[in-house]
Chains A and B, each alone.
Chain A
Amino acid sequence: MQFAIRCQNLVKTYRGKPPVEAVKGLDLEVLPGECFGVLGPNGAGKTTTIEILEGLLAPTSGSVEVLGMSWDTQADAIRQRMGVSLQETQLSERLTVRETMQLFRSFYRSGMTVDEAIELVALSEKANAWVKNLSGGQKQRLAVATSVVGDPDILFLDEPTTGLDPTSRRQLWDIIRSFRERNKTILLTTHYMEEAERLCDRVAIVDSGRIIAIGTPRELISSLGAEHVIEFMTNSDLGSSDDGASFDWLKSLPSVDRIESDHSHHRIIAGEPHAVLPALFAELKQRDLRLANLTTRHASLEDVFVSLTGRHLNEN
C-alpha cells in the first residue's frame, strides 16, 4: 500500500437550484503514518471532502482509495480499520461514558479494551457519568475515544477542536499526537491555522472546493519568500493609495520581500526584521507619519492563506 488515502479529481455537486459545487476536482495523496491537515475557511468544502473519504457521501465523480481499498467493493473492510469523528454528532445523553464505549467497541472485530480507550482520552474519572453531564471538551474527547476504540489504522477527525476552550483544545492535541506516535495515519480538517501548524506533517489549504497549496507547514510558510511579518498602522495614508508608486519607499526598505496594504493597515513580509525596523522608523519620521500598533512575528499559515486569497481564514 503506497498511500493511506488517495483521491483523484474528486468532484461533489449538490443538487439544487442552482446546484452547489462543494468540491471541484480535488487530488490528494496521504502517506501512511502521516498526520495530514485540510485547512480552509468555513464553506471551503472540507467536510464534504472528508465525508467522501469516510464513505459517508458518494462523490459526483472521481476516484477514492482508503488503505488501498475502494468504497465500492470493500466498504466493511475499510470500516473495520477506520476511525471517524464527525463534526456534530451528539452521542446518547443518557448512556454513561463506559456504556457508550462498550457500544462502539462491540462493532469492531478487534481493538482496544473499553478501559484502555477511556484512559487514552483521560476520561477514567468520568467513566460512570452520563454523557449529558460532560463538558464540551469531555464530550469531544469521548467522540475521539469512540473513533479509536477499534484501534484503527486511519483516523478521520472533522474539526475536532471547533468550539473548545484553549485548555480542552490542547488536551485534544495531546491525544491526537499520542495516536500519531503509534504510526497511524490521521486526516483532520480545521479552520485553525495554529492547529494545522502544530499537529500536521503536511497541510493542504483548500478554498472554494479546490486545493490552492499543499506541503509541510514549513514549506508553505517559506513559499511566502520570507518568514517574518511586520504589521503596523499609521495615522494617515502613506500617500495616495490609488497610485501604486507611492509604496515604493516601503518596498525599497532593506530585506523587504513583499508589501500588503489596506488603507492605513500595512503588512510587510521580510527576511530580517532587525534590518527593516530602523529604516522604517527613520522613513516614517522623515514623512511626519505617526506609527501605531506595531507587531512583528513569524509568518504563519494564516499569512499563506491571506497571500493566496486576499482573505483571512476565519472571516465570513
Chain B
Amino acid sequence: MTSNSKPLRSTALMQLTLARLREFYRQPEAVFWVYFFPILMVVALGIAFRNKPVERITVDVVSSEHAQTILDALQKDERIVAAIYAADECQQRLRTGKSDLTVAAEDEKKVGFTLDPTRPGSVLAQDLSNRMIQEAAGRSDPVPTTTSEVTEPGGRYIDFLVPGLLGMGLMGGGLWGVGFAIVDMRIRKLLKRLVATPMKKSQFLLGIMFSRLLFMVPEIILLIAFSWYFFGVQIYGSWLSIGFLVLLGAAEFSGIGLLVASRAKTMESVSGLMNLVMLPMWTLSGIFFSYERFPDIVQPVIKLLPLTPLNDSLRAVMLEGTSLIALWPQLILMFLWGAVTFAVALLVFRWND
C-alpha cells in the first residue's frame, strides 16, 4: 500500500511540468496561436519589406510659363513623379501629403521650393529636384562618383526583424502563457486545492516555467527554419548560443509572467497588467526598428528593459556571430530579471481567494 521509492517521472516537479504540457498540447487552438502567429508575422512583414518598390517621390510644379522646362528636368530621374498644378492646388496637395514638394519657377533663373521640413520624404525630394534642375541647367560635378547597391542576406530588414520577432515571441509566450494559466487555475480554485496538499509552492511555479521553456523550443525552431527557407535568413553565430538565449529569455519572461499574475483574480485584470508591462517593450526594445532612434536620455532606461538585452544578444549572435562571453552584461541582466521576479512572485503569490 505505501511506497516511498520515487522514480524521476513521479516527482512533483516532473508531474507538474507534464500536466502543463499535456494541457497545452490538448488545446489545438492555443497551439495554433502560439506557434503560427509569429510565422504569420514574419510572412506579412517579410513580404511587405522584401520587394520594396522603387520609392516614388511626388513633386508638383506650379503652373507658369517656365513650368514645362522644370517638369522636363525633373522627369529625367525615374523616381520623380512630377505634374503641373495651379498654385493653390499645389499648396493643398502638399498640405494633405499628396505631394512631397512644390517647385515654383519665378523666372528663368530663379526657382523656389516649398516643403515640410519635418517630413523626410520632402527633404529628399528637395535635394533630388534641386540636383535635376541644376544638371539640366548645365552643372557638372567636379568629382565623378559611382554607386553599387547591396542587398546581401544579413543586412536586409528581414534579417533585422527575425531576431526581434524571436524576442517578441519569447516575451508574449512567457507572459500570456504563464499569466493566463495561473489566473485560470486561481478562478477554478485549483490553486487553493493544490496548497491544501504538501506540494512545494516553488516547485509548482518552477513546473510552470519549465513547461514554458519546452513549449518555446518548437516555436523558435519553426520560426528560424521558416525564415531561413523563405527569406534566406542566416544564423552567423552558433546554434548552441541561440538555444541558450532562447531558454534564458523564456525563463526571464516566465518569471515576469508569474509576477504579473501573482495577485490577479480575473482574466481582465491580468490582461490589462500584461499589456501594461509589454507595451513599453513593444515600442522601445527594438523589435521592429532600432531603439537607437530614441533620444539619448532614455537610452539607459531602454537598455534595462527585460526585452532589450534579449533582442540585442539574439541579433548579435544571429547577425554578427558574437560569442556569448562577449554578451555577459546582457545575460546577467536577463538572469536578474528572471530570478528577481520569480522570487518576488513566490513571496506575494495569492494562493487562496
Return B147 CB to nearest CB of chain A, in Å: 60
A171: chain B residues at CB < 8 Å are: none
Return B229 CB to nearest CB of chain A, in Å: 33
Contact A102 B10 (CB under 8 A): yes
Q: What separation, in Å, do the CA atoms of A113 and B1 have in the docked complex?
A: 7
Closest to B352 in A: A56
Contact B22 A99 (CB under 8 A): yes
* CB < 8 Å neighbour of A107 from B1, B12, B23, B188: B12
Q: A95-B19, A103-B19, A113-B3 are in contact. Are A90 and B199 (CB under 8 A)?
A: no
Return B10 CB to nearest CB of chain A, in Å: 5
Return B156 CB to nearest CB of chain A, in Å: 42
CB of A283 within 8 Å of the partner chain: no
Known: A92-B19, A94-B27, A103-B19. 5 other contacts (CB 8 A): A82-B196, A86-B189, A91-B190, A112-B2, A116-B1
Q: What separation, in Å, do the CA atoms of A150 and B198 have in the docked complex?
A: 10
Contact A103 B16 (CB under 8 A): yes
CB of B221 within 8 Å of the partner chain: no
B26: chain A residues at CB < 8 Å are: 94, 130
B11: chain A residues at CB < 8 Å are: 106
Contact B196 A108 (CB under 8 A): no
Q: A102-B15, A103-B15, A106-B14 are in contact. Are A92 and B198 (CB under 8 A)?
A: no
Q: What separation, in Å, do the CA atoms of A113 and B10 have in the docked complex?
A: 11
A130: chain B residues at CB < 8 Å are: 26
Return B308 CB to nearest CB of chain A, in Å: 36
Closest to B12 in A: A106
Contact A89 B188 (CB under 8 A): yes
Q: Which of B159-216 contact A (CB under 8 A)?
A: 188-190, 192-199
Closest to B26 in A: A94
Q: What separation, in Å, do the CA atoms of A91 and B188 have in the docked complex?
A: 8
Closest to A91 in B: B190
A82: chain B residues at CB < 8 Å are: 196
Contact A79 B23 (CB under 8 A): no
Closest to B20 in A: A92
Closest to A56 in B: B352
CB of B96 within 8 Å of the partner chain: no
Interface size on B, residues (CB 8 A): 29
CB of B4 within 8 Å of the partner chain: yes
Return the 7 tightest CB-CB contacts between A and B, nearest first: A90-B188, A106-B15, A84-B196, A94-B26, A79-B198, A107-B199, A107-B197
CB of A111 within 8 Å of the partner chain: yes
Contact A109 B19 (CB under 8 A): no
Contact B192 A86 (CB under 8 A): yes
Q: Which of A77-100 contact B (CB under 8 A)?
A: 79-80, 82, 84, 86, 88-92, 94-95, 99
Q: What separation, in Å, do the CA atoms of A99 and B3 have in the docked complex?
A: 18
5 CB-based A-B contacts, threshold 8 Å:
A84-B197, A89-B192, A95-B19, A103-B16, A109-B4
Residue in B6, B22, B195, B196 whose Cβ sees the most chain A Cβ within 10 Å: B196
CB of A110 within 8 Å of the partner chain: yes
What does the 1/0 interface line of B330-344 toward A look like (CB < 8 Å)?
A: 000000000000000
B6: chain A residues at CB < 8 Å are: 106
* CB < 8 Å neighbour of B22 from A95, A104, A107, A108: A95
Contact B19 A79 (CB under 8 A): no
Contact A84 B22 (CB under 8 A): no
Return B303 CB to nearest CB of chain A, in Å: 40
Q: A94-B22, A95-B22, A95-B23 are in contact. Are A57 and B190 (CB under 8 A)?
A: no
Q: What separation, in Å, do the CA atoms of A94 and B196 have in the docked complex?
A: 22
Contact B3 A55 (CB under 8 A): no
CB of A105 within 8 Å of the partner chain: yes
Contact B189 A88 (CB under 8 A): yes
Contact A92 B197 (CB under 8 A): no
Q: What separation, in Å, do the CA atoms of A132 and B223 have in the docked complex?
A: 33
Closest to B200 in A: A107
A109: chain B residues at CB < 8 Å are: 4, 198
A92: chain B residues at CB < 8 Å are: 19, 23, 190
B1: chain A residues at CB < 8 Å are: 112-113, 116, 151
Q: What separation, in Å, do the CA atoms of A79 and B198 have in the docked complex?
A: 5
Closest to B10 in A: A106
Q: What separation, in Å, do the CA atoms of A79 and B2 have in the docked complex?
A: 17
A112: chain B residues at CB < 8 Å are: 1-2
CB of A72 within 8 Å of the partner chain: no
What does the 1/0 interface line of A22-56 toward B look like (CB < 8 Å)?
A: 00000000000000000000000000000000111
Contact A80 B198 (CB under 8 A): yes
Contact A84 B193 (CB under 8 A): yes
B197: chain A residues at CB < 8 Å are: 79, 84, 104, 107-108, 150
CB of A76 within 8 Å of the partner chain: yes
Closest to B13 in A: A106
Closest to A79 in B: B198
B12: chain A residues at CB < 8 Å are: 106-107
